[in-house]
Amino acid sequence: MSTSLGTAPPPVSARLTRLGALCGTLSGLLIGLPALVEAFTGETAPTSVLLALSPAFALPFLTALHLHQGPATGRFGETAYVVNLIGVGLFGGAAFTANLVLFFLDDDTIEAELTGPTVPALLGSAVVFAVGCALFGAATIRARRVPRLPAWGYAVVLPVFAFLTALPESLLTSLLHLAVGTTLVWLSAALWGTVAGPPQRSR
């Protein structure tokens, strides 16, 4: 039976969806759990390491979620996904640097090193990240494939997180990290729930 080209996208594999959901859950936990600790202890070396790794696991999650909801979001969803992916890459690199490099330097050294285009580049990465999250969150809301509350959380809380995360550690920043982590875990659980039945073994 012949089919015309471009009539329907190939189905997303259940394995890819589950792997993306697991990565999203891990990304959320790597943000939320350190925030719970830092609410009582302040920023520490172990929590900084965990926070630095979180963005890397967000990338497979975004891909799996986009593939799941892409048919319902069209070109807008594709554009939102690309911008969000670039933003997470840039902002993730900034977070990696801040938590695994700058954290271990004294204030005088940090002030001396943050010269030239460094600060504008960091601010630019936050802007791209915020815009990408707002767009992708809007696409997720529009698709109606996951619960609306975490979809709205992605569209609103993550852009705010991009600019407030640079503030000194406080109860507010810990709560914001916790909100972001909860949003990612909730969306990941919803994505996992879209896969019907147990994983199938290849023959």
How far is it, in rounded angstroms, from Cα 149 to Cα 147?
6
Percent of the chain with pLDDT over 90: 57
pLDDT by residue (tens digit) across 191-202?
999 886 544 443
How far is it, in rounded angstroms, from Cα 79 to Cα 85?
10
**Domain ranges across the chain:** 14-193
pLDDT by residue (tens digit) across 31-56?
999 988 888 887 788 888 899 999 99
Q: What mean pLDDT do residues 94-122 have?
A: 76
When the pLDDT of each residue in the chain is averaged and rounded to a whole number, the result is: 86
116, pLDDT greater than 90: no
Q: Which amino acid is at 113?
A: E
How far is it, in rounded angstroms, from Cα 26 to Cα 4?
40
* Residue 31: predicted pLDDT: 94
Tell me the three-class secondary structure of 42-64, residue by residue.
CCCHHHHHHHHHHHHHHHHHHHH
186, pLDDT greater than 50: yes
4, pLDDT greater than 60: no
Q: What is the DSSP letter of 104?
A: G
Torsion over CA: 200, 187, 136, 85 (sign): negative
Of residues 99 and 20, the one with the higher pLDDT is: 20
| Of the candidate ranges 8-12, 70-74, 142-146, 186-190, the one whose mean pLDDT is the lowest | 8-12
Of residues 166 and 121, the one with the higher pLDDT is: 121
pLDDT band per the 50, 70, 90 thresholds, residue 1: very low
9, pLDDT greater than 80: no
* Residue 3: predicted pLDDT: 43
pTM: 0.85
pLDDT by residue (tens digit) across 134-144?
999 999 999 99
* Residue 136: predicted pLDDT: 98
